[in-house]
């Protein structure tokens, strides 16, 4: 995997304002520091550029892994995972709440996070 240089890490951390770009948790409130990781994994053709990097907490990084989508266990439909550069939490919470919860259920189902 390509090395993520110090300048690029600083840019990503600054842009994210030290919040996980998936769950919005503040780094100062976690036990382990947030990680800079690829949104679209290198193995799926993702580049090591600022637009494809996200600051994420250890839990989100572990549970997302290299996945781009998962199966919603209630609908059996493929659901694309949240993408911090393309998706906005404000939009999801207002008029796409069902889609957001399906995406979250997919993540939970894929990793049995709450079971």
Average pLDDT over residues 16-32: 92
Closest C-alpha among 31, 80, 24 to residue 54: 24
The predicted structure's pLDDT at residue 82 = 87
Q: What is the pLDDT of residue 95?
A: 42
Topology given in CATH for the domain delimited by 1-64: 3.40.1800
pTM for the full predicted model? 0.74
Question: Average pLDDT, stretch 65-82?
Answer: 89
If one counts every other C-beta atom within 10 angstroms of the C-beta of residue 55, the result is 25
Helix, strand, coil percentages, rounded to 5, for the chain: 45, 15, 45
Q: Over the stretch 39-56, which tens digit does the pLDDT of each residue have?
A: 999 999 999 999 999 999
Domain ranges of the chain: 1-64, 67-115
Q: For position 73, what pLDDT does the model report? A: 84
Tell me what pLDDT residue 102 has: 55
């Amino acid at each position: 995997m390509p090395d993520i240089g110090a300048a690029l890490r600083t840019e990503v951390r600054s842009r994210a304002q030290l919040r996980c770009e998936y769950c919005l948790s503040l780094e100062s409130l976690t036990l382990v520091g947030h990680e800079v990781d690829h949104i679209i994994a290198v193995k799926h053709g993702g580049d090591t550029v600022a637009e494809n990097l996200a600051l994420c907490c250890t839990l989100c990084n572990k549970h997302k892994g290299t996945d781009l989508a998962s199966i919603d266990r209630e609908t059996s439909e493929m659901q694309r995972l949240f993408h911090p550069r393309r998706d906005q939490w404000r939009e999801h919470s207002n008029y796409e709440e069902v889609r957001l919860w399906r995406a979250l259920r997919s993540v939970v189902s894929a990793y049995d996070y709450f079971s």
